[in-house]
């Protein structure tokens, strides 16, 4: 079953095919109004369930619009309103939904929910974010980098801040797409050692550098994310801010990267915390291309999962 569960679980050739397909589909729309269908309607007659156990703006809207542009239909389901949130097992939910829909996209907390859904579903399952990873985001980020700067292979990506779920998927992508990756942040918030080891096994240069100014030397891309993720307790906010203040992406940090370095953030951002407005709205930033590319990249993921 072609599930899209994580970047390191998907073959590099398939990932490359999805990025190329996304670029072609984006170009084929050629600036037409967002609500008009694509010329090609590969999802005609297909029904997609979009399950959200956590809030979302980009993932929810981009999946919904993407399916519709390709001729399919969607139903957006909130976990708390389903029996899933009232004791029905994930396995039974997966079996039942498979009788109604052609594909399930789920955003959930614990990765085990995603994995159980995939194990028991008879249709493809897409990871729309768990506490551990966020692969769809990174597909959009690769597409965005390559649109602006060409192939990402051999480039240096620097993550500044919390080694969270988005950082984890970047590490997976380093191994699969062949770029180097430096994490800069405080030790308690390092990315999972297992993911660092996995990327190193694939031959990539993966570094952990505590000094953010040294970390970004030679960087082609600087990335950060919110200091308090959706699954983190708000009580950690003050401690996180103290731990991460030195890792804010600001003009001084960007000036230490390559002159043509790009800046990305998956959004939503907390302006003046993890990144300043001067960087978000400045010449290095491609954050809104990145947000748009969620749409195009996920259309390619959907097609790959459904084999259409």
Positions annotated as catalytic residues are: 107, 134, 137, 225, 266, 294
The 8 Å CB, 24+ separation contacts for 83-86 are 84/51, 85/53
Least distance (Å) between residue 44 CB and ligand CP: 26
If binding means CB under 6 A, how many residues of this protein chain bind ligand CP? 8
Residue 76 interacts with ligand CP (CB under 6 A): yes or no: no
Identify the residue among 3, 26, 46, 58 touching ligand CP (CB under 6 A). 58
Q: Residue with structure tokens 């390191």?
A: 8
Closer of 213 and 267 to ligand CP (Cβ): 267
From CA 246, how far away is CA 34, in angstroms rounded? 40
Residue 143 interacts with ligand CP (CB under 6 A): yes or no: no
Residue 182 interacts with ligand CP (CB under 6 A): yes or no: no
Let me know if 211 is exposed, middle or buried by CB neighbors in 10 A (0-12, 13-18, 19+): exposed
According to DSSP, the residues that pair with 122 across neighbouring strands are none
Identify the residue among 8, 22, 51, 59 touching ligand CP (CB under 6 A). 59
- Token pair listed for 175: 């191994």
Least distance (Å) between residue 260 CB and ligand CP: 24
By the 8 A CB rule, do 221 and 177 touch? Answer: no
Residue 267 interacts with ligand CP (CB under 6 A): yes or no: yes
Determine the Cα angle at 255 with ends 206 and 187, to 5°. Answer: 40
Residue 57 interacts with ligand CP (CB under 6 A): yes or no: yes
CA distances (Å), origin 67, targets 35, 83, 296: 11, 25, 10
Residue 56 interacts with ligand CP (CB under 6 A): yes or no: yes
Q: For residue 173, give the 3-state DSSP assignment.
A: helix
Closer of 70 and 129 to ligand CP (Cβ): 129
- Token pair listed for 94: 């997966």
Q: Taking contact as CB under 6 A, which single stretch among the options 3-11, 51-59, 97-105, 296-304 is the one that binds ligand CP?
A: 51-59
Least distance (Å) between residue 286 CB and ligand CP: 14
Residue 106 interacts with ligand CP (CB under 6 A): yes or no: no
Residue 108 interacts with ligand CP (CB under 6 A): yes or no: no
By the 8 A CB rule, do 136 and 106 touch? Answer: no
| Site residues (vs ligand CP, CB under 6 A) | 56-59, 129, 137, 266-267
């Amino acid at each position: 079953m072609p599930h899209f569960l994580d970047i390191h679980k998907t073959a590099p050739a398939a990932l490359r095919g999805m990025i190329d397909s996304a670029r072609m589909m984006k170009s084929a729309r050629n600036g037409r109004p967002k609500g008009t269908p694509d010329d090609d309607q590969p999802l005609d007659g297909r029904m997609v369930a979009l399950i959200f156990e956590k809030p979302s703006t980009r993932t929810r809207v981009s999946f919904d619009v993407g399916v519709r542009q390709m001729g399919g239909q969607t139903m957006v389901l909130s976990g708390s309103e389903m029996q899933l949130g009232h004791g029905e097992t994930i396995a039974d939910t997966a079996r039942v939904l498979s009788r109604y829909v052609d594909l399930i996209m789920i955003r959930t907390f614990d990765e085990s929910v995603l994995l159980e859904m995939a194990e028991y579903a008879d249709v493809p399952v897409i990871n729309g974010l768990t506490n551990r990873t966020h692969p769809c985001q990174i597909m959009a980020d690769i597409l965005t980098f390559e649109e602006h700067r060409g192939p990402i292979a051999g480039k240096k990506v620097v993550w500044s801040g919390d080694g969270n779920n988005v950082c984890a998927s970047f590490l997976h992508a380093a191994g699969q797409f062949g770029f180097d990756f430096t994490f800069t942040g405080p030790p308690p918030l390092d990315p999972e050692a297992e993911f660092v080891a996995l990327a190193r096994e694939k031959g990539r240069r993966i570094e952990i550098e505590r000094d953010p100014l040294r970390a970004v030397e030679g960087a082609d891309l600087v990335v950060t994310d919110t200091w308090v993720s959706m699954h983190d307790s708000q009580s950690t906010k003050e401690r996180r801010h103290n731990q991460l203040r030195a890792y804010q992406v600001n003009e001084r940090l960007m000036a230490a990267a390559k002159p043509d370095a790009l800046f990305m953030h998956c959004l939503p951002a907390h302006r003046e915390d993890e990144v300043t407005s001067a960087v978000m709205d400045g010449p290095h930033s491609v954050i809104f291309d990145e947000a748009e590319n969620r749409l195009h990249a996920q259309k390619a993921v959907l097609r790959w999962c459904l084999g259409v």
